[in-house]
Amino acid sequence: MSSFKIFDIAGSGLSAQSVRLNTVASNLANADSVSGDPATVYKARHPIFQAVQQQIQGASSLDNQSEAAVRVSGIMESQAAPQMRYDPGNPLANAQGNVYAPNVNVIEEMTDMISASRAYQDNVEVMNTSKDLMLATLKLGQS
């Protein structure tokens, strides 16, 4: 396996965690939005990750080379029912005086954000450590 594949793998992890952070930010930004219709209220979104491992074409079975990555296969909308609140003074309230709030749990979203942020930092550390090890390897012959 090439030493440079580690950058591809960590880079795919960075990209996936970036998508995760963006969906968390979207969920938090819309946590307090309301609607007069339960069908149009914002629904929490979460990325679906997929681990990818493929044999590299043209590689012999002795090489046993494969390509690994993390891919976002889609964004799933939550199916949980929106929260109904009685707020007759709200201009978006329906005839019964109810508004519908999204099903976003702010505590879960903050936990997800911290987890995604740390996973992103871990991928950056993998890239930095790999770079440092490669540079140290190149310096071995400079005596």
Assigned domain for 17 exists:
yes
**pLDDT per residue as tens digits for the range 91-102:** 999 999 999 999
Q: How far apart are CA 63 and CA 58, in angstroms?
A: 10
Of 2 and 58, the one with more pLDDT: 2
Of 60 and 36, the one with more pLDDT: 36
Integer CA distances (angstroms), 115 to 55, 63, 109, 112, in order? 30, 36, 10, 5
Average pLDDT, rounded, for the chain: 89
Confidence of residue 30 (pLDDT cuts 50, 70, 90): very high
Average pLDDT over residues 37-50: 94
Average pLDDT over residues 109-130: 96
The count of structural domains within the chain is 1
**Could you tell me the residue range of the domain that residue 111 belongs to?**
5-138
Assigned domain for 143 exists:
no
Assigned domain for 93 exists:
yes
The reported pTM is: 0.81
Query: How is residue 23 written in tokens?
Result: 């969906």
pLDDT of residue 56: 53
The fraction of the chain above a pLDDT of 90, given in percent, is: 73
pLDDT of residue 63: 53
Question: b/e for 108-129, b at 16 or more Cβ within 10 A?
Answer: ebeebbeebeebbeebeebbee
pLDDT of residue 141: 76
Assigned domain for 91 exists:
yes
